[in-house]
Structure 1
Amino acid sequence: MEVVMPLLARFKLNNVENVFNDYVELETEDYKLRKLNKNDARDIVDIYENKDIMTYDRALFIKSESKARKFIEELNDMYEERERIDWAIEDKKLEKVIGLIALFNISILDSRAEVGYVLNKAYTNKGIMQYILKWIVDFSFNVLGIHKLEANINAQNAPSIKICEKIGFEKEGYRKKQVFDRKTGEYNDNYTYGLINDNWEIILERIE
């Protein structure tokens, strides 16, 4: 009697672990995505001195270079602990860090990650973050082999919602009174957005 072995589904191997083994910098003619260093402290202050960011970003208000250097060290430590990947967004012509973008809450098992980003207020409404996010989506799907990217966005953050929707992220969920607004002392709603890699492959194999 022939014994039919059950099927096991597994995903195509992703390359996320390789990024933690060797930090990857990305570069175009105008921008470079690179690792933060302590010399970026002044630029970090320029980004986080905007009090509006307190509503949307979970980082504490940063108003001194000493706090900025500690913040940079913490992000780099989390990379070394293989918890998250943060890139500084450098304007190559200005030689200035104008924002940050990160992959975090990474699940190797499910091949999934959350993306987050912040931009210096002086550089908003110029299409920069939409361009950078699209770049990271392409890198995540086609180089890292990630199956799904997620973004959790404060419902009050209309610009960020607009950016995600333009790129193709779809609203998947709604969390009522999820995040605390340190400016108003109230709780805001949160939206969950997701984008799935259409080229994802599932492999079926026999269990021996």
Structure 2
Amino acid sequence: MELRTPRTLLRPFQPSDFSDTFAFYQRADVCQFLLHDPWTDENAMQMFEEKLQKNNFSANNGLQLAVEFKQQVIGDISIFSTGMPDSVEIGYVFHPVYAGQGFAFETLQAVIDYLFETQKIHRIQAVLDKRNTASEKLCQRIGMRKEGDLKKDFWNKGMWTDTLIYGLLREDFYTT
């Protein structure tokens, strides 16, 4: 599966994407709101192998898409089932060098359109650390609605964190 936007190519990860991907996943500022710590020389290949294996979306297998710009991987889009019929969760990570340039918005619009039109998904959600204000603004910008604001509900990296849940229904996407 491949998706094109005006500036990017979204596609499953390839072995040659390792160094570009490691370049942003080894950064503490990138991983601060994620469920895992920054990649290290010791665990990076194992973490990357998991991305390579998630190359075809199904109810039992999530999809990891490399976001390529000018032959360089600048980000990562995750899509996985919530366990409910025709409902998925999306996640996204971008190299900070490309922040504020519209890449996340552009690629998520394409992914959402693909999920609703091609995969006939009913509902898309994003679950994020409330401290990640950039991610919250992106959810709002792509038309997602805040559905939950959970207080100190998740233990992550030695602390209780607040969780925001954003959602988007197929019918809402095409009327916004």
Please state which band the TM-score falls in when normalised by the shorter chain. Answer: 0.7 to 0.9
Q: Which of 124, 132, 140 pairs up with 2:99?
A: 124
Q: Which runs of 5+ in 1 are unaligned?
A: 1-23, 201-208
Distance (whole Å) between structure 1 residues aligned to residue 54 and residue 6 of structure 2: 29
The one-character-per-residue Cα deviations of 1:14-64 (angstroms, maximum 9, x if unpaired) are xxxxxxxxxx11123421111112211111121112202332112331133
Q: How does 1:42-191 map to 2 (within 5 A)?
A: 42-64=19-41, 67-79=43-55, 82-91=60-69, 93=70, 95-107=71-83, 110-182=85-157, 185-191=158-164
* Equivalence for 1:8: none
Equivalent position amino acid for 2:87 in 1: R
In the alignment, structure 1 residue 192 sits paired with structure 2 residue 165: yes
SS at match of 1:110: coil
Distance (whole Å) between structure 2 residues aligned to residue 60 and residue 79 of structure 1: 23
SS at match of 1:84: strand
Larger Rg: 1
Q: Is the 8 A contact 2:8 2:67 kept in 1?
A: yes
Distance (whole Å) between structure 2 residues aligned to residue 120 and residue 191 of structure 1: 22
SS at match of 2:75: strand
How large is the Cα RMSD of the aligned pairs?
2.1
SS at match of 2:125: strand
Deviation of 1:86 after TM superposition, in Å, equals: 0.7
Q: Which runs of 5+ in 2 are unaligned?
A: none
In the alignment, structure 1 residue 26 sits paired with structure 2 residue 7: no
TM-score by length of 2: 0.87
Q: Is the 8 A contact 1:99 1:118 kept in 2?
A: yes
Q: Percent identity?
A: 28
TM-score by length of 1: 0.75
SS at match of 2:124: strand
* Equivalence for 2:13: 36
SS at match of 1:174: strand
Asked which structure has the greater RCO (Cα within 8 Å, sep 6+), the reply is 1
Deviation of 1:199 after TM superposition, in Å, equals: 7.8
Q: Given the superposition, is the C-alpha separation of residues 43 and 180 from structure 1 closer, same or farther in structure 2, using an over 3 Å criterion?
A: farther
SS at match of 1:198: helix
